[in-house]
Amino acid sequence: MRRRGSSGFTMVELLMVVAIITVATVVAWPTLSTFMGQSGDVGAATAASRYFNRVRDQARRRNRAYLVRFGAFSAAQPTGTMTVIEGTTPSCRTLLGAPGDGQQLEIMPFGQTPQGNYQGHVEKKVGFRGWQRPGDAAVNSADLDVCITPDGAATWRSAAGVPQPIAGSLKVQVQRFLMQGGAWAIEGPPRHIEISFAGGSRLGVK
C-alpha cells in the first residue's frame, strides 16, 4: 500500500508498464520491420536519383562532361554500384570512346557490394536489378554508361556498345530483397530511377 502523501510508482506498477511495452513491441515488430524494409528501396532509389542530379549540376558548374556508370546489376542478390568519372573536356566523346580516359571520383555502392572508401549510408537489402529503354520487354543487366555534358544533354552506352543520345528515358530498376532459407529472394515490385534527356532523373514506382 502506498503511504498517504508519497509520490512515485511501486515496483509492481513499474513491472506492469515494462510488460505492456514488451508485449506491444512484440506485436508491432512484424509490421514495423515490413515498413522499414519497404521504405529502404524508396530511400536507396531517392539517394541514387539525387546523386545523379548532383553530378549533372557539377558538369554544368565545372564545364566538363561526367560519366555515371551503373553496374553490378543482379536479380539474384542485392548488389549495385554508381561510379562517377570526370572528363577533361565538355565533350562525351573521350569518356565514351577511350576506356580509362577521365578521373574516377567516387563509387557509390548498394546492397552487399563492398563499401570500400564510401562513407555514406548503404541499404544492405536493396540493389540494382537492371535497366530498360522505352519499349523494352526484357530487363538488361549489362553495365550502363550515362554521360552528361555541361548543357545537360545525356548520352548512353551499354557495355562496349555504340554511344547514342537518350531518346525518351532510361529506367534503372532498384529492387528490394529478402533473405529466405539462406538465399536472397525478390521482395515486392521494383522502384525506378528514370533518366530523361531534358529533366535529370526522378524516382518512379512500377
pLDDT of residue 177: 95
How many Å apart are CA 187 and CA 204, to the nearest integer?
17
pLDDT digits (tens, 9 = 90+) for 51-61: 888 999 999 99
* Mean pLDDT computed over every residue of the chain: 82
Residue 87's closest CA among 103, 98, 99? 103
Angle among Cα 148, 105, 53 to the nearest 5 degrees reads: 40
Whether 141 has a pLDDT exceeding 60, the answer reads yes
pLDDT of residue 7: 59
User: Is beta strand 169-180 parallel, antiparallel or unpaired with respect to 126-132?
Assistant: antiparallel
pLDDT of residue 196: 79
Average pLDDT on 177-190 reads 92
> What whole-number percentage of the chain has pLDDT above 70?
80
Domain spans, the chain = 11-205
Whether 203 has a pLDDT exceeding 60, the answer reads no
pLDDT of residue 206: 46
What's the pLDDT band for 31 if we cut at 50, 70, 90? very low
pLDDT of residue 60: 92
pLDDT of residue 36: 44
Query: Which H/E stretch holds residue 93?
Result: helix 93-97
Query: Which residue has better confidence, 8 or 10?
Result: 10
Average pLDDT on 137-144 reads 91
Average pLDDT on 73-92 reads 93
pLDDT of residue 9: 66
For residue 176, the Cα-to-chain-centroid distance in whole angstroms is 10
Count the Cβ atoms, other than its own, within 10 Å of residue 190: 22
Amino acid at 79: T
DSSP 127: E
pLDDT of residue 76: 95
The most confident of 3-17, 32-46, 104-118, 161-175, by mean pLDDT: 104-118
